[in-house]
A and B are shown apart, each in its own frame.
Chain A
């Protein structure tokens, strides 16, 4: 947006080329599977063919005897751990569960669960060795679906899992890990008095984040215990702390070097391979590489939970929402932790509703352990809520955007957890959507138009940055935040803005865990906000030093020196450029000019998005075509508008895939039937129209440039926007995702 009131920034808000771009387009970039160490061995992981089985015994002797095999590990090689919970960024995980997910001990809990691993002189030998490992399985009955897993007679995955959050602690273990309830007011009375009520059951399938780069790492352990790991992930410090905790090592013995990441979307915020590679390397004393195949990525790394949502939402005759009753169940996969709190928190966060009751259930079953995926938990429940709002708008004859405007939260309203909302800009987004030509464009026959809104709280968290001035006055910015969406560019831009330098004079890298202070994972849409804040603080400290050096050279007070255009300025003095000051740093008692900043900000601001979607439904094949798509979002301030638009478009496209064709399919044996990009149907380019973007900039006053975080909000609305468009085009409400052609056909046929 051309906001004339925006401050006159020179760099922020421009669209320079990303510093990692040349490496990526020339193929030089070193991604996870590309890294090689001298003398490196190749590992392979044996995975359970059964979705649920007790492991009676594992005989690795034949594999160990195969020429070329140098190390074999099983779950018995992992230290026994007390179950302890530690902070993992936006979500928390039980470290014992993560260890057991890396390698099964007594039970395989899903098809693809790792049960042993081998390191050998070649990948072929390693794979051959896997076939020589004899695992004595006692195959157990399995359960995949959420409701089946909740049934009283369901096979129980964990004998130690007793439902938390019930009024009374249950006396039997079950597959229900947690019940979480959030409530206010009198829901039943308000619903009884409502003029319009939408109700029903909505379901979504487990989906995969679909990153192109598989999980990969190289680990090298020395005889003294010092360990190096090279891996691509959303957080090198996350790998370091989880690996150390799982293996009972001092954190300082591990150095993790981040490699270029080929997509994560939340799915690379935990470990799968690293502890296994460390154990293999420890046994043989050589570096060991582990790389998942695509098949392994689908069968063994984190899908986002599937869900079953029942809801009732009521409004008065004017469209004012009076009550909502939501009960959702998320499929956590093999271990608890399906973001029920975030699901509950995001379910109604866009709207003022006096009476609500939101009940969430975290349910385990024999699927891969679920992992974070962009706005974890929010999209499925918001699909249900936004579908219900579409029904209410139809019942009351209201424009769907007007209905949402009538109920939209404003700054200061009570937020989902009771705390007041910050600078939320939902009203601005809805008004921009309403004013967009898309909203009023005529609809062709067989087309339908849907709209939906979405909320994501965003996050702050711990970040460290250093800014140092080279001898020639150019700048190096170092962070510990892996760059998954162009953050090196935006960090360099923010530093350049503070230092008054051109973008090209500032270079930004992501350092290893020994070279920068702790930084949480790149997740929760926190990096440009929190790490950016650290970069700005460090840059400001560098500017203060530069002013002091100039003041010393001139023999005047620091306060008499200002910093403008990359140079110190004072009355009656020729400006001293950063280059000139840097050249004299060696003659100053202070020496090198550099600063480090550490932050842990809590004043992050939520992201709001409103998407409009037009779909055409073929009257015979029932195939859905997305004809037009517009994504509106409050982005706070776009540091690099192209990368912000890219986040909005990427979120929309992943959401469209989730809505239309993506989803795990299991066969009757509980095995994944579509573990590959051929049958796990992510959208291809020709499936999509151009995703139009509208950036609304309502700055976050707590960030020097107004940043809010933009990566996750845009995946929250698309499921509802697409479903509402398809439902209006098909003339029947689509309640189950994905809306594959056979599902749409069945829904239309059922309506008759």
Chain B
């Protein structure tokens, strides 16, 4: 019988050493995806490298004007950081739609990103917010935009031996607001049929000066849709602008029919959710002006 080994490194360098020493290893954070995959026979790592024991990889801290969220930070921990909740409520809410409370007490921000599900709830919110991730590996550290990390279902742009150290969010701009919404057939405990994250900035005159719209579950990866954001810039996020934005979001969708919903419905929902999320983001931005 082949038996996987379990390692709980105390430091990042030790973790990187273990990853280098075990080519078939997988990083274990909350385990809410990985353990399920192993039990179902869909993953068979030679070793589990548990990063929850590494100081600095768990928790939220200030990073300059912005925020750094340790890769092993459980979703529910975000709720306890008042400044983060005030600055990026869409990101915090997205992370806290995943699974159940019990799942979110384990599931981590880094794990949700690295699992690379097209339907991951936190990812479109992070992309809309302009988040980056700090990656450590044998060649040192590098910083990559979250939007560039997912490569397809289950695939991320990490090189062998690399792991995500933290997610970085900028300071909320003056007049900024964000939101994330998803569509699920049930009221909770479900996977997004479609999701939409919107982050935007309103100028002193009430006109939108910047907007980022990201979609989930409508393509092999979460999508940043620049055309959708552009449709809002220079407007008061009025009905006509929202309609153009929703149309641009829908045009970017490349969904499939599957057990969770039809492609037609997903495209429909991408427009509905992007519009609703933009309205929430606008309200939040107005309160932050």
Q: Which residues from chain A sit less than 8 Å from chain B, CB to CB?
A: 124-125, 128, 295, 620-623, 660-661, 665, 673-674, 678-679, 681, 683-684, 686-687, 740-742, 745-746
Q: A528 CA to B89 CA in the complex, in Å?
A: 54
CB distance from B211 to the nearest CB of A (A): 21
Q: A742-B193, A746-B265 are in contact. List 11 more A-B contacts (CB 8 A).
A: A660-B185, A673-B259, A674-B259, A678-B191, A679-B191, A679-B260, A681-B186, A683-B186, A686-B188, A742-B264, A746-B262
Q: Which residues from chain B sit less than 8 Å from chain A, CB to CB?
A: 1, 40, 183, 185-191, 193, 258-262, 264-265, 268-269, 272, 276
Asked whether, in the complex, the Cβ of A295 is within 8 Å of the Cβ of B268, the reply is no
Residues of B within 8 A of A681 (CB): 185-186, 190
CB distance from B18 to the nearest CB of A (A): 24
CB distance from B11 to the nearest CB of A (A): 32
Q: A180 CA to B269 CA in the complex, in Å?
A: 44
Asked whether, in the complex, the Cβ of A684 is within 8 Å of the Cβ of B1, the reply is no
Contacts known (A125-B1, A681-B190, A684-B189); A621 close to B262, Cβ less than 8 A: no
Residue in A124, A125, A684, A741 whose CB lies within 8 Å of B193: A741
Q: A295 CA to B185 CA in the complex, in Å?
A: 21
Asked whether, in the complex, the Cβ of B40 is within 8 Å of the Cβ of A740, the reply is no
Residues of B within 8 A of A686 (CB): 186-188
CB distance from B267 to the nearest CB of A (A): 10
Asked whether, in the complex, the Cβ of A661 is within 8 Å of the Cβ of B186, the reply is yes
Asked whether, in the complex, the Cβ of B259 is within 8 Å of the Cβ of A684, the reply is no
Residue in A125, A661, A674, A745 whose CB lies within 8 Å of B268: A745
CB distance from B44 to the nearest CB of A (A): 11
Residues of B within 8 A of A621 (CB): 183, 269, 272
Q: A741 CA to B269 CA in the complex, in Å?
A: 10
Asked whether, in the complex, the Cβ of A124 is within 8 Å of the Cβ of B1, the reply is yes
Q: A661 CA to B183 CA in the complex, in Å?
A: 14
Asked whether, in the complex, the Cβ of A746 is within 8 Å of the Cβ of B183, the reply is no
Residues of A within 8 A of B268 (CB): 745
Residue in B186, B190, B191, B262 whose CB lies within 8 Å of A742: B262
Q: A263 CA to B259 CA in the complex, in Å?
A: 26
Asked whether, in the complex, the Cβ of B185 is within 8 Å of the Cβ of A684, the reply is no
Q: Closest A-chain residue to B271, C-beta based?
A: A620
Residues of B within 8 A of A623 (CB): 183, 185
Q: A661 CA to B189 CA in the complex, in Å?
A: 13
CB distance from A661 to the nearest CB of B (A): 5
Q: A622 CA to B268 CA in the complex, in Å?
A: 10
Q: Closest A-chain residue to B1, C-beta based?
A: A128
Q: Closest A-chain residue to B189, C-beta based?
A: A684
Asked whether, in the complex, the Cβ of A684 is within 8 Å of the Cβ of B260, the reply is no
Residues of A within 8 A of B272 (CB): 620-621
Residues of B within 8 A of A128 (CB): 1
Which 9 pairs, one residue from A and one from B, show the smallest C-beta to C-beta distance? Answer: A742-B265, A665-B259, A673-B259, A686-B187, A620-B272, A742-B262, A674-B259, A742-B261, A661-B185
Residue in A661, A687, A745 whose CB lies within 8 Å of B265: A745
CB distance from B183 to the nearest CB of A (A): 6
Residues of A within 8 A of B258 (CB): 673
Q: Can you name 24 A-B pairs with beta carbons within 8 Å?
A: A124-B1, A125-B1, A620-B276, A621-B183, A621-B269, A623-B183, A623-B185, A660-B185, A661-B185, A661-B186, A665-B259, A673-B258, A683-B186, A684-B187, A684-B189, A740-B261, A741-B183, A741-B185, A741-B193, A741-B261, A742-B193, A742-B265, A745-B268, A746-B265
Q: A8 CA to B131 CA in the complex, in Å?
A: 71
Residues of B within 8 A of A742 (CB): 193, 261-262, 264-265
CB distance from B42 to the nearest CB of A (A): 11
Residues of B within 8 A of A687 (CB): 186-187
CB distance from A650 to the nearest CB of B (A): 18
Residues of B within 8 A of A745 (CB): 264-265, 268
Asked whether, in the complex, the Cβ of B185 is within 8 Å of the Cβ of A746, the reply is no
Residues of A within 8 A of B269 (CB): 621
Q: Closest A-chain residue to B268, C-beta based?
A: A745
Residues of B within 8 A of A674 (CB): 259
CB distance from A736 to the nearest CB of B (A): 13
Asked whether, in the complex, the Cβ of A678 is within 8 Å of the Cβ of B190, the reply is yes
Asked whether, in the complex, the Cβ of B259 is within 8 Å of the Cβ of A679, the reply is yes
Q: A742 CA to B264 CA in the complex, in Å?
A: 8
Residues of A within 8 A of B185 (CB): 623, 660-661, 681, 740-741
Q: A134 CA to B185 CA in the complex, in Å?
A: 41
Residues of A within 8 A of B190 (CB): 678, 681
Q: Closest B-chain residue to A665, C-beta based?
A: B259
Q: A673 CA to B259 CA in the complex, in Å?
A: 7
Residues of B within 8 A of A683 (CB): 186
Residues of B within 8 A of A124 (CB): 1
Q: A194 CA to B262 CA in the complex, in Å?
A: 40
Residues of B within 8 A of A684 (CB): 186-189
CB distance from A618 to the nearest CB of B (A): 9
CB distance from B120 to the nearest CB of A (A): 14
